[in-house]
Structures are given as C-alpha cells and as structure tokens.
Amino acid sequence: MSAVSIALREAAQRLAGVSDTPRLDAELLMAHALGIERQALLLDPARHAVPTEFGAFVARRMAHEPVAYILGYRDFWTIRLKVGPGVLVPRPDSETLIEAAVAHFGAAGPGQILDLGTGPGTLLYAAMSEWPEARGLGVDASDIALGYAADNAAALGLADRVELMAGNWAERVAGSFDLILCNPPYIADNEELMPDVAGHEPGCALFAGADGLDDYRRIIPDLPRILAPGGVAILEIGHTQHMLVGELAEAAGFTARCRQDLGGRDRALLLTRA
C-alpha cells in the first residue's frame, strides 16, 4: 500500500468522529494538498508523495471547519464556486431548485432571472449556465457574499450577463423576472445545528425567527410585483415547511407545487400565478 493510501486511510479513521463522509473528506483534502483533482488522485495514488500540507488540512477539518472553506470552492450543479467564511456553503439539496426550473422552462429557458439572497451566486449561476441567453440579477444583504458572487461571475464568464445588487430581498428590485430563485434562511432560532455549520457558516443565512418563517413572510408578499406573466418563483424550504409556506404563497395569490429532493424530502416550492 502506498504512503498516500495509508495516509488517506488513517485520516478517514480520524475524521469519522467529525464527518458523515470521512473518506471523501480525506480524499478531497489530499487532492487539494497535491494541487490535483480528486479523480486524478484516485486513478493512481501511488505516484504521489504525501504533501506536508495534508496534515494541516486534516487538523482544520477535525476542528469542524467545512471542507469547502478549506478547499476554497464547492462544486454545485455543473459549476465550481469560490466560497469561504461569510457565505453559505452550497448544498446538493439546493440543486432541486435548478432541476425544477429546467423541468418548468425546458430548452427555451427564462429571459430574466432573479436570485434573492444569492450568496456566492449559487442558484443564479447554475441557472444561467443552463441558458446562455438569460440575464441575471443577484441580490444579497452581505457585502462579503457579493464579493464572492462577483469573483465567481468573472471566473465563470458570466460578468457581462449578470448584475449584482446590495439589498434586503426584493425591496430595491424593479422590473419583472421570468424565474425567481430564493434559498432564504429557514431554520428556527432554537434549532441545534451540526458544529460544522453552527461554528463557521453565517447565522444570518441560516436562522429565521422562532418558527423559521420570518423571511418567507417578507419575501412572498412582494413576489407578485416582480414575477412576469407565465413566470415561476422557486423557493427552497425546510422539509417540514411545505404546508406553512404554501399557505403564505396562496395568501399572496399563488398556486404552490412542491418538489422533493433526491432523499424524498420536500425541498422546493414552485409558485405560479393562480
């Protein structure tokens, strides 16, 4: 067994106490330390020596730092996004919103896309990567998040098609949009989170009042003003929030449909004009 294979095995054993995916974490950290992609590492681990940086990366993960922060990026949908402290790490469950948008629009796609709470551009750039003619607007209250979003737009070749705006949800947004995407905070203030999340990711992107619905109450009533005829707004929800958020949507004049994630949990609520 090669030195790299032994180091990966030992790291995975150590990380089992702090991660649900210890082997994957170890492989990603090793590949990052080597400056290669994980696939290249797995093809031929014996050709590499264990880099000195690997131990430091494992130690950071042992302290519950998210892998994405250590790597400096997270892959989402078909794109790679620069991320770091101050922005929410993109989750695979959020790809459900992009799947729903693709199913709704097909190849024709939306012309104008709005992402409320864009963070590093997660949903907006994933959608724009599907439809090369679409233009986008990303709104976020965090200057840190908008900085990451600007860097990602440049890296992905989207800067000429996107506008970024500081703002509190849609308060400063004018015009109409065929597709509105939003992954708002939806965790109740008293809910306990994993140490990776609670100790590192921004609370303002996670918590939303006593019942987790505060931001939906701000966002949904403003959507009829900016949703184009025939358009759809797709909101991420917690897996127990389908009915409660659906009631808010119906009160605002929408018909609401729910889409489940790959784990079979309610994850995306699609709002169209009733």
Annotated ligand binding at 140? The verdict is yes
Annotated ligand binding at 240? The verdict is no
Tokens (6 digits) for 211: 């019942």
Query: What is the length of the chain?
Result: 274
Phi, psi of 209 (to 5 degrees): 85, -175
Annotated ligand binding at 118? The verdict is yes
Rounded CA separation 258/271 (Å): 9
* 187 close to 84: Cβ distance less than 8 angstroms: no
Least Cα distance to 134 among 93, 182, 102, 92 occurs for: 102
**Torsional class of 15: left (φ above 0), alpha (ψ -120 to 50), beta (otherwise):** alpha
Annotated ligand binding at 117? The verdict is yes
Tokens (6 digits) for 2: 């090669």
Helical H runs in the chain? Answer: 3-15, 22-34, 38-43, 53-62, 67-71, 95-105, 122-130, 143-155, 195-198, 214-219, 223-226, 242-251
* 194 close to 226: Cβ distance less than 8 angstroms: no
Annotated ligand binding at 86? The verdict is no
Tokens (6 digits) for 272: 């169209």
Annotated ligand binding at 229? The verdict is no
Tokens (6 digits) for 43: 């093809």
Annotated ligand binding at 20? The verdict is no
Annotated ligand binding at 121? The verdict is yes
Phi, psi of 177 (to 5 degrees): -135, 135
Annotated ligand binding at 120? The verdict is yes
Least Cα distance to 184 among 152, 213, 210, 162 occurs for: 213
Q: Binding site residues for S-adenosyl-L-methionine, as ranges?
A: 117-121, 140, 169, 183
Q: Binding site residues, as ranges?
A: 117-121, 140, 169, 183-186
Q: Binding site residues for substrate, as ranges?
A: 183-186
